[in-house]
Amino acid sequence: MSDSNTSPTRCGYVAIVGRPNVGKSTLLNHLLGQKICITSRKPQTTRHNMLGIKTDGANQIIFVDTPGLHAGEEKAINRYMNRAAISSTRDVDVVVFVVERARWTEGDELVAQKLRGLKCPLIIAINKVDQLDDKNALLPQLQALAERFPEAEIVPVSALRDSNLESLENVIVERLPEGMHFYEEDQITDRSSRFLAAEIVREKVMRQLGAEIPYAVTVEVEEFAHEGKVLHISAAILVERNGQKRILIGTKGERIKQIGQQARLDMERLFDSKVMLNLWVKVKSGWSDDERALRSLGYVDKR
């Protein structure tokens, strides 16, 4: 806390929730002004809760990016992602519920049901409003949301275009409790560099491949070491079947080469270092439906 002549110090946890593919990770990256969460057009890109920490003067917002809540829990990894998303709304100071402009789906309804009885302030961020030619088209949804969630503050935004994010941040800060900061001013996430490297590789896989295979893919970093000014990273891309391995490697290794090139460029930006990246593909049958395998691969509930 500070004296009466200055603003009080504020700090709190803010969960970002919503159905899959609504733009939660993109929103967090733009709020932070730095990419720490992977994104793609495919649902369920985010698999883990991850903290994104933004310190601005007296205010520290600790965002919790979450997997999209989804109805199907046929595999252990789906159950893990839903547990991670639901747990994020407990013991936080604010919840930001991200929905899409002029759309309300069964997925949104599922999230809304999970938010019943919420003890903390709720903010609804209507994302992708830049895609509306006529802003009046938003009015019916604004009215419906205001009736459904009378206690919520509703803020239209465009995460991708950085539109109205400052207003959203101000609304969040107003609802944070006064208190000392939990993290150092220059820390932006609770995740290790090794974890971030694995996520970057997985993002490139998801962007390269079709609809089916990305969900059978995870990445395990086996080497992460500095030698002089060069960062050496070796990672195994795990798939569940030999056919998936062939597709991932591509004709004459072209696809795995492209994935490696794109991942290396992102890693060099993130780690501010020259990176030597070595990738290979391994078959680990049934990993996504094996609780023990998931734990060994880092799928551990953190909150």
Q: Which domains does the chain have, with CATH numbers?
A: 10-175 (3.40.50.300), 193-297 (3.30.300.20)
Would the annotation count 65 as a binding residue?
yes
Residues 6+ apart with CB under 8 A from 251: none
What Cα–Cα distance (Å) separates residue 31 from each residue in 42, 63, 165, 254? 21, 9, 7, 35
**DSSP helix/strand/coil, 48:** coil
Would the annotation count 66 as a binding residue?
yes
Describe the crossing of helices 24-32 and 165-174 by its angle, rounded to 10 degrees: 80
Would the annotation count 24 as a binding residue?
yes
Would the annotation count 68 as a binding residue?
yes
Would the annotation count 121 as a binding residue?
no
Would the annotation count 20 as a binding residue?
yes
Would the annotation count 177 as a binding residue?
no
What are the DSSP E strand ranges found in 141-213?
153-156
Is pTM beyond 0.95? Reply is no
Would the annotation count 114 as a binding residue?
no
Tokens in use for 38? Answer: 């992977």
Q: Residue 277 corresponds to which amino acid? A: L
Say how far apart CA 232 and CA 253 lie, in whole Å.
Answer: 21
> What pLDDT sits at residue 153?
96
Would the annotation count 119 as a binding residue?
no
Q: Would you write out the chain's pLDDT as a tens digit for each of its 303 residues?
A: 444 456 789 999 999 998 888 888 889 999 998 888 867 665 555 556 678 999 999 999 999 887 655 455 556 656 655 565 566 667 789 999 999 987 888 889 988 988 888 889 999 999 988 877 777 778 888 899 999 999 999 999 988 888 899 999 999 999 999 999 999 999 999 889 999 999 999 889 988 886 656 567 889 999 999 999 999 999 999 988 888 899 899 999 999 999 999 999 999 999 999 999 999 999 888 766 666 766 665 665 554
